[in-house]
Amino acid sequence: MTELKNDRFLRALSGEAVDVTPIWMMRQAGRYLPEYRATRQQAGDFMSLCQSPELACEVTMQPLRRYAMDAAILFSDILTIPDAMGLGLYFEQGEGPKFRKTVRSEADVAALPELDVTSDLAYVMNAVSLIRRELNGSVPLIGFTGSPWTLATYMIEGSGSKDFRNAKALMYDQPEVMHALLDKLADAVTKYLNAQIAAGAQAVQIFDTWGGILSTPAYQQFSLQYMKKIVSGLTREADGRKVPVIVFTKNGGLWLPEIADIGCDCVGLDWTMEIGRARELVGDRVAIQGNMDPSILYASPARIQEEVKRILASFGHGNGHVFNLGHGITPEVNPDHVTAFVDAVHEYSAQYHQ
């Protein structure tokens, strides 16, 4: 494999010394970029874009042509596994993901097929391989998945939800059914991430988007333990180098020490958790990724620079920080404001690594 020209992202995840704090953005290939919108229109719809390795590669590369990002992230969707299980994923304009079939009973869980991820999700692996070739060692490639709990919520509700009433009712009323579903998903996710690593992903992230809706006991039982199971089953070295694992639970700041203990290399923060406090909680056990409020990008470049400086100062001197947003960038952001953001991280972080 081609040697990495810029490995500061991987070094930071391992707590090694870097010259400046590395940065990438969740949803960095997205609707805020006019070139992304043009490619999506060319594809016809979102899933066609995801399922075309060539177009997925193109939109993955687009932000790297504009910005000095320190990592690329595979363009895909967290719901590829339930879709491959036959639930019929589709997207309606402005309404987010929906499934044609739901999973709400023991029989529904039993009927879910065991995936052969290399064939059932071959388009994802083909995209990973193509992106790695296109990157040509410029920056590392991140693969990703949704957490079992997050996937289960969509599979049970059939879409996003404000109160997750069906998922929570199943969890509390029939925990054995929920555990059977989560166990099946954990096995699929482990195989899926390992296939991405085999295809060329150099780090992976688990998006636990809806873990934060749970009580502490429910989070530990129905989300965290399954992410721990996944982490323990992952390929942790490829191309002679460690493959770091990032775990991001949105609204999970309360549980950072517990997340840090599951064997991951990095915990992701949303913007509600002060990064300096997070560092106090986890010490140097894991790296920290985050965590600027995406809405700051609507403000002026000068204000964006101020916020970058504040977060860098809150984390303080030393290694183990990957700068990111606290969630995905939103579609209405001015692309020029992202330039100010990325450049500010590199410019103002150097002093913390001397």
Residue numbers in the known binding site are 27-31, 77, 154, 209, 327
d(CA 109, CA 105): 6
Provide the residue type at 222 as one letter: F
Catalytic residue among 154, 192, 219, 226: 154
Spot the catalytic one: 11, 40, 104, 279: 40
The span from the CA of 13 to the CA of 20, in Å, is: 13
Q: Is 65 one of the annotated active-site residues of the chain?
A: no
Angle in degrees, CA 87, 89, 93, rounded to 5: 150
120 noted as active-site residue: no
Active site residue 104: no
CA distance 204 to 142: 5
Q: Which of 7, 77, 83, 270 is catalytic?
A: 77
Query: Ramachandran region of residue 136, left (φ > 0), alpha (ψ -120 to 50) or beta?
Result: left
For the chain, the C-alpha Rg in angstroms (whole number) is 19
| Residue 37 annotated as catalytic | no
Picking from 292, 287, 275, the residue whose alpha carbon sits closest to that of residue 327 is 292
Q: Is 90 a catalytic residue?
A: no
How far from each other are the two terminal CA atoms of the chain, in whole angstroms? 31
What residues are labeled active site? 27, 31, 40, 77, 154
